[in-house]
Amino acid sequence: MTKLAFPLTTTCALAILILSLTPGCGRKQDASSEVNLPSVSVRARPVEAKRWLATEEVVGTIRARVRATLEAKISGRIGQLPAVAGQNVKKGDLLIQLEVSEVQARLDQARAVEQQAAQDRKRFETLLAQKAVTQAEYDAVQARAEVAAASLAEAETMLGYARITAPFDGVISRRLAEVGDLASPGRPLLELEDPGSLRLEADVPEALIDRVQLGITLPIRVGARTNALEGVVSELAPMADPNTRTFRVKLDLPPESGLRLGQFGRVAVPVNEITSAFAGLERIAASTCATTLSVRSSVAPSGRITAPIT
């Protein structure tokens, strides 16, 4: 199909010219060879005003609303790392086991001190009842027992940090360490994301940020998908990036949308509402020349008619 652009007056004149010339399209023939053809029929369509919304697309990336970067709270050699990228895990599953023999040794020491302190307190309770020790002596023994119990609890907590488990149900998106590596506080080891709750993160230019508000719904197209998704603006950065002069906008996507993390998407930001006129000849049948010309035209905002000719 080829699209031709004509002024409105030119199209109307062209239609009239076609109708006026149709009787002379055929050559003069003898009366005996004349054929009775159907009369010419013309159907016009009145001018109608149509409104449509002009939008500008802003690119973004599909990310998980719930994601976490897992690190170690204590230093230690990685002894076990059963988690791999793409693996689905449940909350509480073991992801990393550190080798921390020195923490285990401190736990054993704290447990022995706590047992001794508990025995001393029990013995002094008996002596205090017999008036063999003073109240001050008993209070000191009791304080030492409480300190020993607190040290034992601290050592048990530190040993628990050697086991890194999944904080929520999700999928391992990145594995940043291997067995034998030294884990330390501040070093990322794994990245965990929840693929069940996705959103589109886009950087909207400052010229369009006034068109975006919290809670509004905007159409989103992802990859080669033909149908558009509806995203709800859930977060809107109050400050622009000083380098790009853009605002980070996050739109929540509907569940069960069949999307994958990291996919490329486009969000349509409304710019303006435009009114256009649609008019022209819908169909012209010139039967005298045994031909048919179909014209569908519309008036664009520039005042010209865009007509595909078939």
Taking the domains of the chain in order of start, what are their residue ranges? 2-50+278-309, 56-66+195-274, 67-193
Q: Which residue has the higher pLDDT, 212 or 282?
A: 212
User: Mean pLDDT across the stretch 107-118?
Assistant: 94
pLDDT for residue 196: 84
CB atoms within 10 A of CB 78: 19
pLDDT value, residue 304: 42
Buried b (16+ CB within 10 A) or exposed e, 113-139: bbeebeebbeebeeebeeeebeeeebe
pLDDT of residue 297: 42
CB 205 within 8 A of CB 59: no
C-alpha closest to that of 279 among 10, 3, 46: 46
| Residue with the larger pLDDT of the pair 276 and 76 | 76
Looking at per-residue pLDDT, the higher value among 18 and 142 belongs to 142
Q: How far is CA 80 from CA 140, 178, 189, 272, in A?
A: 44, 9, 12, 58
* Percent of the chain whose pLDDT exceeds 90: 53
According to CATH, the topology of domain 56-66+195-274 is Elongation Factor Tu (Ef-tu); domain 3 (2.40.30)
Tell me what the mean pLDDT of segment 84-91 comes to. 92
Q: Which residue has the higher pLDDT, 13 or 114?
A: 114
pLDDT band at 224 (very low <50, low <70, confident <90, very high): confident
Of 171-175, 176-180, 235-239, 297-301, give the lowest mean pLDDT range.
297-301
Answer with the residue of higher pLDDT: 91 or 291: 91
Q: Which residue has the higher pLDDT, 133 or 284?
A: 133
Q: What is the pLDDT of residue 195?
A: 85
For residue 6, pLDDT beyond 50: no
Mean predicted confidence (pLDDT) in 144-163: 94
Instruction: Answer with the residue of higher pLDDT: 239 or 16.
Output: 239
Output the pLDDT for position 52: 74
170: helix, strand or coil: strand
pLDDT > 50? residue 292 = no
Instruction: Supply the pLDDT for residue 50.
Output: 72
Determine the residue type at 277: A
Mean pLDDT of 12-23: 52
The 10 Å CB-count burial string (b at 16+, else e) for 199-228 is bbbbbbeeebbeebeeeeebbbbbeeeeee
pLDDT of 290 reads: 37
Show the tokens assigned to 283: 């169909």
Pick the CATH number of 67-193 from 3.40.50.1580, 3.30.930.10, 2.60.120.620, 2.40.50.100: 2.40.50.100
Q: What is the pTM of this model?
A: 0.61
Predicted confidence at residue 257, as pLDDT, reads 64
